[in-house]
């Protein structure tokens, strides 16, 4: 029989210990460090620390919003599926609106992607929400535009869309903001797993 570690808790313990041994986490405040560790764990890339950018108050803002029952608004179902419900402090709603009736027609009317069009369903909850964008740069660009047009600012944004067209640019646009609490990954890296991992770490201090 093949020998390998079979205990889930021990796998996590060893994994996080290896990440901390192999990653340069010195530039991150204490409350953000476990978030970055989980993002590295999801990506398998210890040099992700080079690209993570976050505001000093994002962890406090996100945890306060979630503790108060705020929803998590996701750009795709992949991101929503990666969020561990047992870690949520207030049985928070996790929403993705890509399957709303007429979303394709709405996207055509506004001349954008379905993920960008789905943001139209976010407005009423945005000011108390944690936003998780891990796939679609168009959703992140659209969110920033809507905020500039007067929409409410979310409590916190985890914005780490992945890809080659618009991903780096949308994350750079988020990283330049001084009016928002956010975590982003600059460059082309990112994705559903990294984004969901960050939200899971924000949702609970349990490692």
CA dist., res. 133 & res. 57, Å (int): 19
Confidence of residue 47 (pLDDT cuts 50, 70, 90): very high
Enumerate the active-site residues: 41
At a CB cut-off of 8 Å and minimum separation 6, what does 1 contact? Answer: none
Confidence of residue 12 (pLDDT cuts 50, 70, 90): confident
Classify the C-alpha dihedral 176-194-165-98 as positive or negative: negative
- Mean predicted confidence (pLDDT) in 65-74: 98
Using the structure block, give the residue that is written with the tokens 């989980």: 38
pLDDT tens column, 116-165: 999 999 999 999 999 999 999 999 999 999 999 999 999 999 999 998 99
- Complete domains list, the chain, with CATH: 8-203 (3.40.50.10230)
Chain length of the chain: 207
Confidence of residue 84 (pLDDT cuts 50, 70, 90): very high
Q: How many CB atoms lie within 10 A of CB 36?
A: 22
Q: How many CB atoms lie within 10 A of CB 120?
A: 15
- Mean predicted confidence (pLDDT) in 3-27: 90
């Amino acid at each position: 029989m093949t020998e390998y570690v079979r205990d889930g808790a021990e796998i996590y313990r060893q994994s996080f210990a290896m990440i901390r041994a192999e990653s340069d986490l010195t530039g991150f405040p204490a409350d953000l460090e476990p978030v970055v560790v989980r993002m590295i764990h999801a990506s398998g890339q210890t040099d992700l620390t080079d690209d993570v950018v976050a505001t000093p108050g994002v962890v406090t803002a996100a945890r306060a919003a979630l503790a108060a029952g705020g929803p998590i608004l996701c750009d795709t179902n992949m991101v929503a599926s990666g969020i561990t419900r047992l870690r949520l402090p207030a049985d928070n709603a996790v929403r993705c609106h890509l399957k709303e009736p007429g979303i394709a027609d709405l996207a055509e009317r506004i001349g954008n992607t379905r993920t960008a069009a789905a943001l139209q369903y976010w407005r009423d909850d945005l000011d108390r929400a944690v936003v998780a964008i891990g796939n679609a740069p168009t959703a992140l660009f659209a969110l920033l535009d809507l905020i500039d047009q007067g929409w409410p600012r979310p409590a916190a944004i985890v914005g780490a869309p992945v890809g080659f067209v618009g991903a780096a640019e949308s994350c750079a646009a988020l990283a330049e903001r001084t009016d928002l609490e956010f975590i982003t990954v600059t460059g082309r890296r990112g994705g559903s797993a990294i984004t969901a991992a960050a939200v899971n770490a924000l949702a609970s201090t349990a490692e």
